[in-house]
Structure 1
C-alpha cells in the first residue's frame, strides 16, 4: 500500500478527484490517500494558499495527485503551480500528447511527449518596475538546469524506446540565454548515440506542430516555450480535457490535470475527469503499479471510443458520474 498526498482542488476539482479515486479503487490500486487542501478555498478559510500541513505531507509521501486549483486574482499572489514547482524543486514538467483511437480529432497518429524545464527562465519571477510605464523581466538560464532537463528528456526517450529528441529554442535571437540552453542539450545528447537530436526554433516548431505533428517524438524546451507548446499540442488531440501532466523532482512528484478549475460548471456534473485520470495512471507507473495503470488506460480508451459513453464536452451525453461508472464497467 502506497501513501499518496491528495488535493481535491477548487471548482470542478472535488468532482473529478472523487471520480478518479473511485476508478483507481475499482481497478485495485494499492493507495492510501492523505488528503489536504490548497488553493483558493484554503486561502478563504486560512489566509494561506499552501498550508504547511500539505508541504509536510508531500515531503513525507513523495507523490501527490492534485486537482485543479485557483490562485486569487490580484494582491500580488503568485501562481500556486509555479510556487510548488519552486518549493519542491520540481524541475521537469512532462506532458504526453497522444491521439485516442476512436475519438474524433483533427489529426491522427500524434504521439509526442513535451518535456519542459520547470525551474527558471522568465517564470523564475525576477521582474521589476523600473520607472513609471517601464517594467523589466530577467530571463535566467543556467547550464546546470539546462543539462538536467536535457538528461531527463533523453532518459525518458531511452526508457520508452523513443528515437528522436527535438530541442526547441530561440538561440538565433537570444544568443546567450537560449544559446546556453541549446549548447547544454547538445552536450547531453552526445552521451545518447542511439537517439537522434533535432533542433528547431520555437516559431518554426509551432508551424511544424500544426502542419505535421506526427513527426515529433520527444520535445525538450525552456519554461515559457514549454508552457505555450504543451497547450498548443493539447489542441491537436481535442483540448486540455485530454491532457495529463506531471511535475517531477529528485524527491517529490506532483501529478495533475493540465486544465483549470472551471468554476462555472462546478457542481453541475458536467466535468470530464479524463485528464486527471490519465495523470493518475502516470502516477501509478511512477510508483510501480503499472499493471493497474494499463487496465485503467484500456478501460478509458474503450469508453471514449464509444460515442454513447462520452462526456458532453466530447459530443456525448454523460456527466462526470455516468462517465465514471462507464469506465468502471469497462475495467
Structure 2
C-alpha cells in the first residue's frame, strides 16, 4: 500500500550519456528524498538502442507497462531517428510517449547562468508549450500525417487547435502560476494572422480567468514578444503559447541564456509526467564520466514540482527546492564538469550536489 509521501517513478536510461546522467540524477533525488521525508519507489525499463537490441523495438511492451504503472518518469536522452528502419516506433520513441500518454504541456524553464556566458544575463523565464496540437503534422491527425502534396510543387500543412485541448492547457498554466507564486501569464499568439485558431487558444485563458482572479493574463503577439524579450527580459517570467511558437521561443530564450546545456524540461499530462533534459545524447563523450547531469537533475526537480502541483504534497516541493538550490551552489562553487570549465566527473558533480544539501 502506498504511503502519503510515496513517489513511484519509472527510470529509462536512454542512449549515449543517458545511463551516466540518469544514475547521477537518481543519487541526488534519493538524497533529497531522505531529507524531505519522501519515499521513492523506482523501476528500471529500457528505451532506445538497448531496448531495440533486446526486443527489436525502441519502446517495447515491457517498458510501456512500466510507464503505465508509474505516474512520474525520468528519461535519459535518446537518438532522434537514428534507429533501424524496422523499429515499430519509427525511430522516435519519445514522440510516441508524448502522444500515447497525452503529455499536453511542455515546461521549459530557462535561466541565464554566468558560466555559460549568456547574451542576456537577466533571462529567467518559463515557457509553457501546448504539446499535442498546432502545426505539427505528426500529432494533429487521427491517422496519417498532417502535411499534404496535392501535386509535386504544392505543399499544404494543417494546423489543428481545439477548445478542449486549449482549456486543459490553460488550466494547467494557471495552476502552474499559482503553485510557483506568480501573478501574471504572458499569452503569446498571432491572432491578427490566425484569428480562428489563436482566437480559440486565447479564449480558453479568458474564460478561465474568473477561476484565477489573482493571476492576470497579458496578450502579446509573437513578433512583438520576439523583439522585446531580449531588451526587457525581466518583464517575462511565465509564457504560455501554442506548440510551434513555444518550440521556437524556448530555444530563443535558451540561446540568449547561453545554450541548452543546463536546460531542464518536463512533459506533463493528465496522469503522467516525464522529466527529460533538452540536450542530446553526446555520443562523443559517452562512457567517459565527463557528462554534465545538471539538466536532468533540474528536470527531475520539475517533476517533483509537478507532483506537488498535482497532489499538494509539500515534501515534493521541498525536495525540488532542495535540489535546485544545491545544483546552483555547486555550480557557483566551481565544482563543475569539463563543459563548464571544471574537472569534476559526472559522479563527482552529483556527490558535490549531495554534500551541498547536507550542508544546509
Deviation at 1:78, TM superposition (A): 5.8
Partner of 2:75: 66
Structure 1 residue 145 corresponds to structure 2 residue 165: yes
Deviation at 1:153, TM superposition (A): 0.9
Question: In the alignment, is the contact (CA less than 8 A) between 1:157 and 1:163 conserved in 2?
Answer: yes
Deviation at 1:44, TM superposition (A): 4.2
**Match for 1:160 among 180, 200, 206?**
180
**Match for 1:290 among 312, 317, 329?**
317
Change (3 A) 1:193 1:23: closer
Deviation at 1:213, TM superposition (A): 1.3
Question: In the alignment, is the contact (CA less than 8 A) between 1:102 and 1:306 conserved in 2?
Answer: no
Where in structure 2 are there 5+ consecutive unaligned residues?
Answer: 1-5, 140-144, 308-312
1:271-330 alpha-carbon deviations (Å, 9 max, x no partner): 1110100011222333443333333222211111123x1222222232322222222222
Greater shift, 24-33 or 10-19, is seen at: 24-33
Question: In the alignment, is the contact (CA less than 8 A) between 1:240 and 1:258 conserved in 2?
Answer: yes
Deviation at 1:250, TM superposition (A): 1.1
Structure 1 residue 82 corresponds to structure 2 residue 95: yes
Partner of 2:214: 194
Deviation at 1:100, TM superposition (A): 4.9
1:114-165 alpha-carbon deviations (Å, 9 max, x no partner): 1110111122252233332433221101111112111111121122221211
Question: In the alignment, is the contact (CA less than 8 A) between 1:103 and 1:305 conserved in 2?
Answer: no
Structure 1 residue 52 corresponds to structure 2 residue 65: no
**Match for 1:246 among 239, 263, 266?**
266
Give the alignment's TM-score, normalised by structure 1: 0.91
Deviation at 1:264, TM superposition (A): 2.2
Matches within 5 A, 1:224-303: 224-287=244-307, 288=313, 289-303=316-330
Where in structure 1 are there 5+ consecutive unaligned residues?
Answer: none
Change (3 A) 1:173 1:103: closer
Greater shift, 229-238 or 246-255, is seen at: 229-238
Partner of 2:350: 324
**Match for 2:28 among 18, 23, 33?**
23
Change (3 A) 1:104 1:132: closer
**Match for 2:131 among 113, 118, 133?**
118
The Cα RMSD (Å) is: 2.2
Task: Count the aligned residue pairs.
Answer: 330
Partner of 2:14: 9
Q: Determine the C-alpha separation between the residues in 2 that align with 1:216 and 1:111.
A: 8
Partner of 1:305: 332
Greater shift, 106-115 or 207-216, is seen at: 106-115
Question: In the alignment, is the contact (CA less than 8 A) between 1:4 and 1:33 conserved in 2?
Answer: yes
